[in-house]
Amino acid sequence: MHKLSNQSSTQAPSPSVVTLRGVDAALRAALDAEATRRRLSLNGVILELLRGSIGLAGEPDLNHDLDALAGSWTREEADGFAAAVADFEQIDASMWQDEANLL
């Protein structure tokens, strides 16, 4: 029987090396392309894919670049904006007629 670890269960496991065998040319090309697309190393993209496939990816990073704008309008500014775009709320029924009925 193989021994998995010589550490006690109270110690955090150290990073380990895993060899992946059986990677054919098509899989390698796809992994390389994905690594390039994500701007990661081959190792990094494989780790991300593995973590994501078994539910260890965690929550995606949220962008906070527009947070300062949220709730920053006064009531008057919000009302002015709503009035300015009110026409966009109107539905032009003629645009939704069936083309067969127009002939």
Secondary structure of residue 66 in the 3-state scheme: coil
45 in Cβ contact with 34 (< 8 Å): yes
Tens digit of each residue's pLDDT (9 = 90 or more) over 65-77? 777 778 888 999 9
57 in Cβ contact with 48 (< 8 Å): yes
- Express the helix, strand and coil content of the chain in percent, nearest 5 each: 50, 0, 50
Q: Return the domain boundaries, the chain.
A: 22-57
User: Looking at residues 17-25, what average pLDDT do you find?
Assistant: 93
> Tokens 């054919």 map to which residue?
24
Of the ranges 56-60, 83-87, 99-103, which one carries the lowest mean pLDDT score?
99-103
47 in Cβ contact with 57 (< 8 Å): no
For the chain, report the end-to-end CA distance as a whole number of angstroms. Answer: 79
Give the confidence band of 36 by pLDDT, cuts at 50, 70, 90.
Answer: very high
Pull the structure tokens for residue 5. 């670890």
Q: Which amino acid is at 4?
A: L
